[in-house]
Each structure stands twice: as C-alpha cells, then as structure tokens.
Amino acid sequence: MPLALAQLQDIGDRITDRLRPWSRSAEFWVRAADIYTSYKVCQLRAGFVKDEEEREAMWEQQHELGAQKMYSICSELGGLFLKAAQILGKPDLAPMAWVKRLVTLCDNAPATPIDVKYDINFDLYSATKEMEKQICYEFDFVREAKAMERIREFLRVTNKKKPPVIVPRVIPEMVSREVLVMEFIEGTPIMNLGNEMAKRGIDPGGKIATMAKQKILTDLTLAYGQMILKDALLDYGQVKAMPEDLRLAYANLVIAMADDDFLRTKESFREIGIETWSIADNELEELFQLSLRMFDTRLPPGVTAMSPFAEDSSLNKVGVQSFPEELFSVLRTIQLLRGLTVGMGLRFSCAQQWKPIAEEALLNCKIKKAAEKFCQETVFE
C-alpha cells in the first residue's frame, strides 16, 4: 500500500508540474489585461480634461501605477516573464516610469524560495481553454460578418422603436475569412467624447454632458444586456452563444445582484455551474461581493478601480474551483463597461439596468414551459 500511494503521489506531482506553466501564463494575461484596462480608462478620462498639464499629470500617475503592477507581475511569476520585463525596460520601448521600475529586475531581481508554489483561487484552466477558442474566432471574418447580421436583426426585432445602437451593414460580396468590409458610420469615437464636447462649448463635467454620457452608457448597456440575456452575442469579433439553461441561470443572478439578495446569489452560482469554496464566516456576503466584481459595474463610493483579481478581492476568502467557459466573455464585457462608467465619471449598475430584461427572460421561459405542459396534457387526454 505505501508503494502504491507513493506512485500515485509521483503521478500527481508530474501532472501538477505540467500544468503549472499554463497556470502562470493565464495569471499573467489576466493581470496584464487589468493594466491594459486601466490605461484605456485613463485615456477616456484624459479626453474630458482640457488643461494640458493636468492631462500630463494624469498620464504620469498612470505610468507609475502601470509600472508598479507590471513589476509585481514579472517579479512574482519569474522565469520568462522576468526576462520579458528586462527586455521591456528599455527607454525606446516603454515610458520612463516603466524603465526606472523594470530596470531593477536586471541586476536586483527578487529571490524566490525553493519551497514556494502559489496560485490565485480561480479556475484558470477554463480561462485558458476559452482564450484559445476566442483567439481563433478573432481571425475568422466570415464568422464575424454572420454575427453582425444576426445582432442587427435581433436588435431590430426586439425593439419596437429605434434600436439602442447602430450595427454597421456588412457588404456581403466583400467578405472572406481574411477580409471584412462594412458600411462607414459617421460619428465621434467614445474615447474622444470629452474633446468633442469641449470643442462645441460644452463643459465635459457639467450637467448637460453628464446627461448625455448617461444616455450613451444606458443605450450601450441595454444593448449588451439584450444580447447577453437573449443570445449572449457580446461583440462582433468574439461572439458567444449561451446554452439556454446557462442563459436563464445568469438572468437569475442579474436579479439577485440588482436586489442585493445574498441567498439568491449563492443559488444562482450553483445553477450557473460556478463551484466555490470558502474560508470566510460571512460566506454569503463575500460571495455576493465577488459576484459584483465579476458581473456588475457598480463601484463603492470613492473607488475607481475594482478587479476580481485585486488584492482586496473576495477571491482571497472565496475560491472559484470551476467557472463555465461561456461566461468569460460576459466577465470581460463587464470590465469594459465598468471602465466606461469610470472614464465618464458616472455611477452605474448594469445589473439594475438589466433586471427588467432578466425578469422578462425568466417569465417567458415559465410561460413556455406552462404552454408545453398544457399541450402535453391535452394530447394525452
């Protein structure tokens, strides 16, 4: 028996050693995405600032923050990531704040004890599987064109009035797997909204601008909500269709978050297929807070950034053992929408916006099941 146990332990150690590089890679990209998002948010916020010196100060602060985060990632993960930081820390490749911080990794890299092995409490295996699929989708323009047409038709059918967003028309005869041609839409990129308002004499921080930004964000959020809770088509390059049972379970979670219902949140996690473990006495509260970080855009007062993988996240008390691959696109979309709310200086909850849509989805499902049951009983009689 001791020999058999030793052999099993050896097999387990080998499997762990093989999976560890994938886990570290996934952690790098998750944390790198957080840095990228913070830069996009800074870009959006800077667009609303008129004073050039103030904008430069914002960017300097962002570079300092980004440099510290990248230093932490590469010094903690070590190996190839440490070498990448050494290459990146060159004046011609990165901002000066990055160079000053990363150059220390060339001759003063932190030592890692031999007996340390660590990980974030999240299902990184599903994340890497989904990432692999989505990268392939990104380069298939025929698939993207079909998705655009499906989204356009869906928004037309489900909105009696004008659809909340415009979907460009695809030019069918000019679409191949390598090329996608669509109609040109005249407009102002959302990242340049602040500058455009200033040019027209509108104070980017005034009441009129706030109302306009609120309207834009509401339209975007409702469009996303309709697609997520109906067909789960989140964007054109990376489209995701939810299975029916997962779609309804997610609708249930949206209502739970909008109503601050801790118990319903836990039940929704189970329905969705998110398996967790907890070391917290207040498990329900921590689970609810984790759900907000992953699936809602609301932020606590005074907070401008909130990631599921931050140091103060509930992931330190509630671990996610299993996470459905289909939901990673939703998680990414939430982070994008949250970045827009912060950049526009708004407080916004997509869960509260989506609640009516979620309730309608669950009601339609109930009516459909009741009708099917009635038909079956009628035929039987």
Q: Kindly report the CA angle at 371 between 226 and 249, in degrees rounded to 5?
A: 40
In whole angstroms, give the CA distance from residue 241 to residue 58.
Answer: 39
Q: Name residue, tokens 């609640």.
A: 355
pLDDT value at 53 more than 50: yes
Shared domain for 370 and 288, answered yes or no, is: yes
**Confidence (pLDDT) at 237:** 66
Q: Is 8 within the bounds of a domain?
A: no
Lookup result for tokens 């979907």:
167
Task: Give me the residues paired with residue 278 across strands.
Answer: 318
| CB distance 204 to 197 below 8 Å | yes
d(CA 88, CA 84): 6
pTM (2 d.p.): 0.62
Do 312 and 260 share a domain, yes or no? Answer: yes
Contact 295, 257 (CB under 8 A): yes
Quick check: is 291 in a domain?
yes
Of 336, 358, 360, give the one whose Cα is nearest residue 348.
336
Under a CB-based contact definition with an 8 Å cutoff, are residues 259 and 356 in contact?
no
How many Å apart are CA 227 and CA 155, to the nearest integer? Answer: 8
Task: Specify whether 241 is located in the same domain as 351.
Answer: yes
Let me know whether 104 and 140 are in one domain: no
Q: What is the tens place of the pLDDT at every residue in 86-133? A: 776 666 567 788 877 877 776 666 665 655 474 567 887 887 788 777
Assigned domain for 29 exists: yes
Alpha carbon distance 356, 362 (integer Å):
10
Is the CB of residue 330 less than 8 Å from the CB of residue 227? no
231/282: higher pLDDT = 282
Give domain status of residue 207, yes or no: yes
pLDDT in tens, 137-160: 777 888 888 888 888 888 888 777
Percent residues over pLDDT 90 in the chain: 16
| Cα–Cα distance measured from residue 273 to residue 246, given in angstroms and rounded to the nearest whole number | 8
DSSP per residue, 187-242: ---GGGHHHHHHHTT--TTSHHHHHHHHHHHHHHHHHHHHHHHHT----SSS----
**Spatial CB neighbours of 349, under 8 Å, sequence gap ≥ 6:** 257, 258, 296, 297, 298
Number of folded domains in the chain?
Answer: 3
On whether both 265 and 288 belong to a single domain, the answer is yes
Write down the pLDDT at residue 135. 75
Q: Is the pLDDT of residue 235 over 90?
A: no
Other CB atoms within a 10 A radius of the CB of residue 10 amount to 10
Which of 108, 132, 162 is a domain's end point? 108
Which of 81-85, 148-152, 254-258, 360-364 is predicted least confidently? 81-85
- Assess whether 258 and 357 both reside in one domain: yes
Is 333 inside a domain boundary?
yes
Sign of the dihedral through C-alpha 57, 63, 66, 68: negative
Amino acid at 154: F
Query: Are residue 239 and residue 329 in the same domain, yes or no?
Result: yes
Per residue in 193-214, pLDDT (tens digit) is 667 777 777 776 777 667 766 7
- 340/215 Cα distance (integer angstroms): 13
- 213 and 176, same domain (yes or no): no
Q: Is the pLDDT of residue 233 over 50?
A: no
- Do the domain assignments include residue 299? yes
Do 88 and 136 reside in the same domain of the chain?
A: no
* Cβ–Cβ under 8 Å, residues 191 and 44: yes
Secondary structure E strands in the chain? 170-175, 180-182, 275-278, 318-322
Domain identity same for 256 and 359:
yes
Among 108, 132, 157, identify where a domain stops: 108
Q: Indicate whether 165 and 279 sit together in one domain.
A: no
Same domain, 364 and 291: yes
Distance CA 289, CA 34 (A): 19
Cβ neighbours, 10 Å, residue 76: 17
| Residues of the domain holding 143 | 123-186
- At which of 46, 75, 108 does a domain end? 108
As separate numbers, helices (DSSP H) first and strands (DSSP E) second, the chain gives 14, 4
> Using alpha carbons only, what angle is made at residue 289 by residues 64 and 240, rounded to the nearest 5 degrees?
85
Kindly state whether residue 208 falls inside one of the protein's structural domains: yes
3-class state of residue 186 by DSSP: coil
pLDDT confidence tier of residue 266, bands split at 50, 70 and 90: very high
Decide: 233 and 154 in contact? Cβ < 8 Å: yes
How confident is the model over 284-335, as pLDDT tens digits? 999 999 999 899 988 776 666 666 666 677 787 888 989 998 888 888 888 7
